[in-house]
Structure 1
Amino acid sequence: MLIPVSPSTVSINNDPLLQLYSRGSRQHFFQTSELMYLQGDGNYTWLHWVNRPSIIMPKTLKQLAGLLPAGKFIRVHRNSIVNCQYVERLERLKAGLGTIHLVNGSALPVSRRRWEAISELLDHAETSTK
């Protein structure tokens, strides 16, 4: 399931910006290309970046998913969204479970329900880049 596009996403040089607020009304803009994956933790979400420390935001994963650019992020589990450009490989485990491995060594679970769509999408992305 790809993340739908949000009209509020600002774009500079074809790299959309993610606008986040922290401590009051302070605004911070981050390049979405630097966002490796998001992990939901109740009413909070951890944002894991390529070249900066992870941060936690007081928003649900669903709320932040609406701010992400279309076609670049994929929901792999009920608690995680991954940036497709940082996927290293998919691994099928027993009983239909799966794991997605990222280039930084992180491994996240893939739900059984989403496995087929994710593997087809990533296979299609690999063949189109070759």
Structure 2
Amino acid sequence: MKFNCLIVDDEPIAQQILEKYISQIDALQLVGKCSNAFEALNVLHQEKIDLLFLDIRMPSLTGLDMLKTLQNPPKVILTTAFSEFGAESYEYGITDYLLKPIPFERFLKAVNKILMPHNTSLATTQTEEKAEEPIFMFFKADKKIHKFYFTDILFVEGSGNYVKIHTLNEKPIMVLDTLTEVQYKLPKKQFTRVHKSFIVNVSQIQRIEGNMIMIQKKVIPISATFKPNLELLIQANK
């Protein structure tokens, strides 16, 4: 099966790079290229698009504003030169967020988030077995590979291109990764972002006082942007 792709970007060089990357992956098929959101909306109404490579800053209508108009959007990978949109963009259910200039390895990592679950789904259908959800993950820090069980993670604290993972039984471990990248790796039913600098394990929350979360004597702020997501997850876990 091939995934029909649409590139939406007002920069010709960005279109060319993405087109070259797409051509190197057999499972992807480029259907078209658009230089603005209005052209893209026309294509989306006429063609079956599985994957949208969408620039954020475009004239007249931004990529995020365009997403708001779609009732059943395809999978979306955002592409932009501006990192400040990262936190907001994930509220739209996107698959990944790529910063320009985009290395091929980073492009491939984003695309694999779509292709690999699809392959897993096919395998599951054929074997009639349900794959178990992962209960741990690995991170590289201090030239070592550390194994983290999700149940042991209290919260994750962002600091630029690094994150500090706080756990039950060990000192915080500094990892070379962004908070946005880590957020994608954590189970959404258990972890949620509550602030631009913090992701918390909902099962480890001891209490909430106003706009503050208490976890193991640590006080974590809640921002207005992420508070609704926290409330929804708490309701789901009641």
TM-score band (shorter)?
0.7 to 0.9
Name the SS for the 2:187 alignment partner.
coil
More RCO (CA 8 Å, sep 6+): 1
TM-score w.r.t. the length of structure 2 is: 0.42
Contact 2:212 2:221 in 1 (8 A): yes
Q: 1:53 to 1:120 in 2, by over 3 A?
A: same
Q: 1:115 to 1:70 in 2, by over 3 A?
A: closer
How does 1:3-42 map onto structure 2 within 5 Å?
16-24=135-143, 26-42=144-160
Contact 2:141 2:174 in 1 (8 A): no
Output the aligned Cα RMSD: 2.5
Runs in 1 of length 4+ with deviation above 4 angstroms? none
- Displacement of 1:72: 0.6
Give 2:138's aligned amino acid.
Q
Q: Which has the higher strand share?
A: 1
Q: 2:227 aligns with which of 92, 115, 130?
A: 115
Residues 24-60 of structure 1: per-residue CA shift (max 9 Å, x gap): 5x43322111110000001110000001111101111
Q: 1:56 aligns with which of 158, 169, 174?
A: 174
Structure 2 residues without counterparts, runs of 5 or longer: 1-90, 96-112, 118-131
How high is the sequence identity, in percent, across the aligned residues? 23
Q: Which has the higher helix share?
A: 2
Contact 2:192 2:229 in 1 (8 A): no
Structure 1 residues without counterparts, runs of 5 or longer: 93-97
Q: 1:116 to 1:67 in 2, by over 3 A?
A: closer
In the alignment, the residues of structure 1 paired with residue 201 and residue 167 of structure 2 have an alpha-carbon distance, to the nearest angstrom, of 10
In the alignment, the residues of structure 2 paired with residue 112 and residue 77 of structure 1 have an alpha-carbon distance, to the nearest angstrom, of 8
The equivalent of 1:68 in structure 2 is: 186
In the alignment, the residues of structure 2 paired with residue 16 and residue 50 of structure 1 have an alpha-carbon distance, to the nearest angstrom, of 16
In the alignment, the residues of structure 2 paired with residue 38 and residue 115 of structure 1 have an alpha-carbon distance, to the nearest angstrom, of 17
The number of equivalent residue pairs is 113
